[in-house]
Amino acid sequence: MKSLIYGYGKTGKSFARFLESKEYKFDIYDDNLPKYSKKIDLKKYNQILCSPGVPKNIFEKIRNINKNVLTDLDIFFQEDTSIKIGITGTNRKSTTAFHLYQLFEKFEPANLIGNIGNPMLDYINTKKYSIIELSSFQLDKMITNKLDFGILLNIQTDHLDYHGNFEFYKLAKERILDAKKSISFEDNPYDLFEWITGQKSSEINLKNLPYRFQHISKNIINDSKSTNYHSLSYAVKRANEIFLNNGYVLIVCGSPKKEEFRKIDIKGPDQIYIFGKHAKQIDKCVNNKNKKVFNELSDVVNHLNKHNQKNVLFSPGYPSGDDFSNFEDRGVAFNKIFGNLNEN
């Protein structure tokens, strides 16, 4: 039996570890990596293991050539015997999953896996519960839903570049409701815990995820995990309450392609600073007169220092695009460069 791993990012590497543990032979293809971009014959493989980020049109072409195409979620369903809790939504899925995970840690150890950054194939049959953050890409490519519990937090316009339109995006998200038990539009982790376990959880101090509205100082907030307009709007609303009449600067970056370059209104910050390789595109999308465009994040810092601007919200509002490899990478970059700013 020979497999092909299609896409060799974080999930692709977890495919490799899984296949090696089974002593299966495999090849790797990734057109972004010259080492693995040689022409291949898809028909010769017994199965193709496809990463969730593979574009929809390419995924469908692969499946038309070779019917045995699996994702990491499909394999996890086949191999794992834990109680599986899937969480999806346009916003707050990572935060809700992380908060629920903390409650389970006080009850019975669980794994926090999936789109949150921990490859699920590395956690097969290791704990009784699996809390799985699921993206619309994963749900769209999934063959059959074998979740024990499915949680749909919310649905708002997103990922139209992948799904084509809102209806297809909505259909993908709603596939989570085919779980054995499902619930919609509930994001209170305590209520969700009781719904799953039948027991009430004691109140604990729930921690937030890194780079999700993270205060790196009294005046500076790192919300690098903001990758769409809805999460940006939520961050701005919170910043408006925190800074009140003291004013603040909003920093945005990333690629607006996912949002189909749509116009957005941002009200609250005194200034909006836009930087990076996609800055000119973002500038055309943002409806606000008080905005400036910069090449690099370091240029933003120099400008802030020069004008003695202390209150800062970094909430990009877009995926990283060509500026950073992912939201963690840009979160680290922001903390590194802003961590030395004087609060006073």
Same domain (yes/no): 193, 82: yes
202 belongs to a structural domain: no
Report the domain count for the chain: 3
Report the C-alpha gap between 14 and 147 in whole angstroms: 21
Per residue in 200-248, pLDDT tens? 998 999 998 889 999 999 999 999 999 988 899 999 999 999 998 889 9
User: Minimal CA–CA distance to 131: which of 191, 192, 71?
Assistant: 192
Look at residue 342 in the predicted model and tell me its pLDDT: 46
Same domain (yes/no): 271, 241: yes
CB of 339 closer than 8 Å to CB of 314: no
Range of the domain at 15: 2-70
130 belongs to a structural domain: yes
> β-strand 129-133 against 83-88: which pairing, if any?
parallel
Same domain (yes/no): 62, 125: no
Q: How confident is the model at residue 300 (pLDDT cuts 50, 70, 90)?
A: very high
CB atoms within 10 A of CB 244: 9
Same domain (yes/no): 66, 82: no
Same domain (yes/no): 219, 331: yes
Look at residue 341 in the predicted model and tell me its pLDDT: 55
Phi and psi at residue 202, in whole multiples of 5°? Answer: -70, 150
Percent of the chain with pLDDT over 90: 85
113 belongs to a structural domain: yes
Q: How confident is the model at residue 309 (pLDDT cuts 50, 70, 90)?
A: confident
Same domain (yes/no): 151, 221: no
Same domain (yes/no): 26, 43: yes
146 belongs to a structural domain: yes
Same domain (yes/no): 173, 275: no
Instruction: Please tell me the pTM assigned to this model.
Output: 0.84
Q: How confident is the model at residue 340 (pLDDT cuts 50, 70, 90)?
A: low
Look at residue 52 in the predicted model and tell me its pLDDT: 92
Look at residue 245 in the predicted model and tell me its pLDDT: 80
- Which of 143, 171, 197 terminates a domain? The answer is 197
Same domain (yes/no): 225, 323: yes
- Which of 134, 169, 197 terminates a domain? The answer is 197
Cα dihedral sign for 89, 93, 97, 99?
A: negative
Report the C-alpha gap between 99 and 102 in whole angstroms: 5
209 belongs to a structural domain: no
CATH number at residue 103: 3.40.1190.10
- Which of 170, 197, 224 terminates a domain? The answer is 197
Percent of the chain with pLDDT over 70: 99
- 85-94, 259-268, 272-281: least confident range: 259-268
Same domain (yes/no): 24, 134: no
Local structure of 85: helix, strand or coil: strand
- Whether residue 343 has pLDDT greater than 60: no
Place of tokens 């191999």: 79
Look at residue 209 in the predicted model and tell me its pLDDT: 87
207 belongs to a structural domain: no
203 belongs to a structural domain: no
- Whether residue 344 has pLDDT greater than 60: no
Same domain (yes/no): 35, 97: no
Report the pLDDT averaged over residues 268-293.
96
CB of 229 closer than 8 Å to CB of 250: no
256 belongs to a structural domain: yes
Per residue in 42-70, pLDDT tens? 999 999 999 998 999 999 999 999 999 99
- Whether residue 184 has pLDDT greater than 90: yes
CATH number at residue 36: 3.40.50.720
> What does pLDDT average to over the chain?
94
Same domain (yes/no): 128, 61: no
Per residue in 100-132, pLDDT tens? 999 999 899 999 999 998 999 999 999 999 999
Look at residue 257 in the predicted model and tell me its pLDDT: 86
